[in-house]
Amino acid sequence: MTKSSLILKVAKELFTQKGFKATTMDEIAKRAKINKALIYYYFKDKNTLYSEIFRISLNEILSTIKQIDPQKPLDAFFTYIKAFCQFAEKDSGFFAMLMGELSTSAKHMPQLALEMFLQAVGILNEILKEGKRIGVFREVNTLTIHLTIIGTISFIVCSREIRNDTERIKKAPQFLKKEPESLCREIYLTITEGIKNESI
């Protein structure tokens, strides 16, 4: 692992656990077992480091969904959801960072991240528009659909640890612990049932 990759890995762990404000460059250096000056060699400041973590994560998602063909809206919609689900299983820390940002009105959300989110929502909008045009979807609010997808994924992956903590939630019903075999398919089926054009 390169030094820059190590810094990004450790920084993401700390940002996930403590949030942007509470994480310090000293702490990142200490956990990575490197000199703090090395962090500044690769990254101008904490904001730049934070922004790079968001850029890398969102770029991975975007690289997948940019290949989606909206001309087949049902398939495209499933692929859109699947891209976020697969990334969440691979990198739940990013979704924890995202939820942390939303809980503080996105005060530290990098501008680049916001622009990349807009690209993602734009792709979803094209899928939904095409679905409406050919008659498989009814008129829907794109933002509502996007947040339903992201919100569901985020809460599932970020609540997993507490839901599986049998000591703390001894009397929790079993359904809180049992997740669908395929989260992306569960989300897809639930949403498409609600947005499908009832006239077909």
Q: What pLDDT was estimated at residue 169?
A: 67
User: What are the backbone dihedrals phi and psi of residue 52, each rounded to the nearest 5 degrees, phi first?
Assistant: -65, -35
Is 93 within 8 Å of 13 (Cβ atoms)? yes
Q: Which CATH code for domain 47-195?
A: 1.10.357
Q: In this predicted structure, which of 96-100, 128-132, 151-155, 187-191 has the lowest mean pLDDT?
A: 96-100
Burial of 103: CB neighbours in 10 Å, binned 0-12, 13-18, 19+: exposed
Question: Which residues are CB-contacts of 23 (< 8 A; sequence separation ≥ 6)?
Answer: 11, 14, 15, 46
Q: Domain locations in the chain? A: 1-43, 47-195
- Name the pTM for this structure: 0.85
The phi-psi region of residue 32 (left if phi > 0; otherwise alpha if psi is between -120 and 50; otherwise beta) is alpha
Asked whether the predicted pLDDT for residue 1 surpasses 90, the reply is: no
Q: pLDDT tens digit string along 148-164?
A: 999 999 988 888 777 77
Q: Which amino acid is at 67?
A: Q
Q: Which CATH superfamily is domain 1-43 in?
A: Homeodomain-like (1.10.10.60)
Is 184 within 8 Å of 81 (Cβ atoms)? yes
Q: pLDDT tens digit string along 21-78?
A: 999 999 999 999 999 999 999 999 999 999 999 999 999 999 999 999 999 999 999 9
Q: What pLDDT was estimated at residue 199?
A: 58
Is 59 within 8 Å of 116 (Cβ atoms)? yes
Q: What pLDDT was estimated at residue 100?
A: 84
